[in-house]
Chains A and B, each alone.
Chain A
Amino acid sequence: MSRADQTDAVWVNKIIPISTVDGPGARSAVFVQGCNLRCAYCHNPETQTLCRHCGLCVPGCPSGALSQNGSRVVWNPVLCIDCDQCLDVCPYFSSPKVRRMSPQDVFAEIEPNLPFIRGLTVSGGECTLYPSFLTGLFRLAKDNNLSTLIDANGAVDLSLFPDMMNVTDGVMLDLKAWDPEVYRRVTGVERTQAAENNLRFLSSQGKLAEIRLVCQADWIDVRQALDGAAKTIPHAVHDTPLKLIAFRSYGVKGEMKDVAAPGLSEMETYRTYAESIGFTRIVIR
């Protein structure tokens, strides 16, 4: 058991008691605040940055759940009606509706869900920015026989955190893009070696639970990204689950907010391509 240690605490955006879309079976899903990428298609843009307490969202709050207390914006979850006006007006891709929580705090909220779930998934934001939080939380999960999954953007080299990986059963790794130019345009940052390192490292550990790729022909080099992944882990392509996610503009605040979604037939061409280079466990979402 890890000690209650405030240095392990992070800002938590949301905890979903039973999620059906964050890995196999019923899982509790924890979304932490703060990301190192600025993806043009980000579907939960309000998790990207930490609140800077500018107060812009306070006057428009219809239920009085937000107030300015000195230099800080304070959120009262009891009064909040989840209308999300604060998220709509925030120019910084953040949210005032976050709670500072230690691994113990988070686990205490998950505990009542135990008989109904088989595992815990942590997503974000980018949760791998907080390896000591993840280590502490996953130790508690393991003590309670939960499987542990990380939803990662791939921009943090996970091999640097062996304690965290020891208590992590698998990582769902987002490819984002392959070509450095395309990657920079989509994510807003430079592509590093982390993406390929993670593929190799996780695959060698048997912890590559899934490769994900959001697809949109004008923005993402889908075929090149699939090729890149396949060449990086040639022995594991056959067994690694691949999830091809059709870009959707719902909830998007970034540059791609007005971009059209690919149709099912386009997605099927990606599936066919993935099959042609050796992927076998492919799902389209």
Chain B
Amino acid sequence: MFDKKQAFDVLTSKRLTHEQKLMSLAKSAENAFDVLEIPEKTRQYFASGVINDLFEGGAPYRPRYILPDYERFVREGSAFLQLQPPRDFDELIFALMIIYRHVPSITNFPVYLGNLDTLIEPFINAESDADVVRKLRLFFTYLDRTITDSFCHANLGPKATRAGELILEAEAGLQNAVPNFTIKYDPDITSDDFMKRAIDCSLQCSNPAICNHQANTSPFGDAYGISSCYNILPTSGGAYTLTRVTLTELAKIADSADHFLQDLLPEVLRLIGDYMTERIKFLVEQSGFFESNFLVREGLIDKDRFLGMFGVTGLAEAVDMLLAGKGFVYGRDSEADDLAEAILNTVESVVNSLDAPYSPLTGGKFLLHAQVGLDSDIGITSGVRIPVGKEPDRFIDHLRHSGRFHKYFPAGVGDIFPIAAHVDQNTDALLDVVRGAFSVGVHYMSFYAADTDLVRITGYLVKRSEMEKYRQNEVVLQNTTQLGAPNYDVNRLKDRKVRMSD
């Protein structure tokens, strides 16, 4: 329903930019509709925080995440945008700047900017390195200042290219929160030299994160991208919707681990499946998006390449709660980790038994995603991560733990590690660790230097300096600073265990 008071508060706020007000008011309007059939039991689980649809709004009128086929756009131009295919590097950047403005998502900004290195590579033959870097810096800064939401992702790799190297060079010199970069890493394809540059860049500006290419090609082959906050999704498609189960909240109402596993969990998972089905059906059958949007009409996205993401979060605290009194701790004790595995086995088998509409790519199934969290999550650790302060003493034990639990999440999962600043003197060492991590099943990892301004909150980047301004009640450009500051404080992210300090 329309919350008049909240809308007025937004309208008269002195802490929000004009754009932030506009989007918040649009959400209020969307929520005035009551178009989804939601059973009473589901509503109760929403009210208790067990189910959460991550602010998707009451009447979905665009897919949550869209990953356009930018290669096709570059090849063919766009009739709707009245753009011919770009012929040189300047025209390419110009064309991308235009189309990004027209790619919707849950944030109203593009969450996926394409595999930028391979997009750019054919256009820079006539350009000097210095020119490419200078133009890229302008381009990236344009993106950072106009896409004022950090849930925006560009991809690199897995093959080393000149464009990739120049992108890293341009990015390392900037301290921008947008876009996030992820490099797809495959030891059989990606050169060590390229990866070391990527790691070096990552220690300078917290980008790129590193995606295990071999592990992540299983659901959609090579035609996948990393969007928003570590979502692994098909390109030329994306995600219709994402709803999550917050295991921590569910554990609060469980009488026992058995009650949790046998009764509560299957019930909630089925209700979430029904809820996402409602959302997908409205979006596909009534919203008009797939009939009218130019991305569909020009073949840049295809309804048959969309899917529903089934989010899971708060495993750590749920396990600790279900084992309360026994003293076992998730991430440290095998008894706790074994229960965690049993929970995820149940999640996997129940979710795979549900039918997802309009999802031919996945054979009519939802795909599991380790959801990274909300600013309102207090005492709920992202996805399957180990809570800050409870990390294993040894980095290797932490990585093996990640490897054990990442495999459940084909639609994305990741861990974040602050790395001792001096490791930039030995990037080979971090490359060795990444290779080891991927060999024990880690799907995705990101780093930042322990002393950097740009810190990863749950997946997105925020500047410590901007958070400080926000805490002093100043208006800040990026809305993710507003999400990040409370999360950073409440979840004590400054206390994350710094790795590789020996």
Contact = CB atoms under 8 A, between A and B. Distances in A.
B433 A26 contact: yes
B502 A16 contact: yes
A20 interface: yes
A117 B472 CA distance: 45
B426 A24 contact: yes
Interface string B393-421: 01110010000000000000000000010
A117 B394 contact: no
A29 B502 CA distance: 10
Contact of B436 (A21, A115, A283): A115
Given A17-B395, A20-B500, A25-B428, A116 B433 contact: yes
A26 B429 contact: yes
A17 B439 contact: no
B432 A17 contact: no
A25 B440 contact: no
Contacts of B395: 17-18
B166 interface: no
Contacts of B106: none
A17 B394 contact: yes
Contacts of A285: 425
A112 interface: yes
Given A17-B395, A20-B502, A115 B426 contact: no
A25 B439 contact: no
A20 B431 CA distance: 11
Contact of A118 (B396, B432, B440): B432
A1 to B, nearest CB: 24
A283 B439 CA distance: 32
Contacts of B423: 20
Nearest to B424: A20
B437 interface: yes
Interface string A47-64: 000000000000000000
A67 interface: no
B422 A115 contact: no
Contacts of B430: 20, 26
A19 interface: yes
Given A18-B502, A117-B436, A24 B396 contact: no
Contacts of A29: 502
**Main SS of chain B's interface residues?**
helix
A113 interface: yes
B365 to A, nearest CB: 32
A116 B396 CA distance: 8
Contacts of A17: 394-396
A274 to B, nearest CB: 18
B438 to A, nearest CB: 9
A116 B426 CA distance: 14
Interface string A1-42: 000000000000000111111001111010000000000000
Contact of A21 (B432, B435, B440, B502): B502
Contacts of A115: 435-436, 439-440
A26 B432 contact: yes
Nearest to B428: A25
Interface residues of B, number: 22
A25 B426 contact: yes
A113 B422 CA distance: 21
B436 A25 contact: no
Contact of B429 (A25, A112, A283): A25
A117 B432 contact: yes
B426 A21 contact: yes
Contact of B431 (A19, A25, A27, A113): A25
Chain A CB count within 10 A is highest, among B399, B430, B432, B500, for B432
B426 A18 contact: no
Contacts of B396: 17-18, 112-113, 116
Nearest to B438: A115
Interface residues of A, number: 19
Interface in A143-194: none
A21 B433 contact: no
B440 A18 contact: no
Interface in B475-502: 500, 502
Contact of A18 (B422, B431, B433, B435): B433
A21 B502 CA distance: 7
Nearest to A16: B502
A282 B435 CA distance: 28
Contact of B420 (A20, A24, A27, A283): A20
Given A18-B502, A19-B502, A116 B431 contact: no
A116 B439 CA distance: 9
Contacts of B420: 20
Contacts of A116: 396, 399, 432-433, 435-437
A16 B429 CA distance: 14
A26 B428 contact: yes
Contacts of B431: 25
Interface in A77-135: 112-113, 115-118
Contacts of B429: 18, 20, 24-27
Given A115-B436, A115-B439, A20 B399 contact: no
Interface in B109-168: none
Contacts of A112: 396
A116 B423 CA distance: 15
A116 B500 CA distance: 12
A20 B422 contact: yes
Chain A CB count within 10 A is highest, among B394, B431, B435, B436, for B436
Contacts of B422: 20-21
A194 B308 CA distance: 70
Contacts of B437: 116
B195 to A, nearest CB: 13
Contacts of B440: 115
B196 to A, nearest CB: 11
B422 to A, nearest CB: 7
B490 to A, nearest CB: 29
A264 to B, nearest CB: 15
A116 B425 CA distance: 18
A106 to B, nearest CB: 16
A108 B431 CA distance: 24
Interface string B361-388: 0000000000000000000000000000
Contacts of A283: 425
Contacts of A24: 426, 428-429
Contacts of B439: 115
Interface of A: 16-21, 24-27, 29, 112-113, 115-118, 283, 285
8 contacts: A17-B396, A18-B429, A20-B500, A20-B502, A24-B426, A115-B435, A115-B439, A116-B436
Given A20-B426, A20-B429, A118-B432, 16 more contacts: A18-B396, A18-B433, A18-B500, A20-B502, A21-B422, A21-B502, A26-B430, A26-B432, A26-B433, A26-B436, A112-B396, A115-B435, A115-B436, A115-B440, A116-B433, A118-B428
Closest 3 CB pairs of A and B: A116-B436, A26-B432, A115-B436
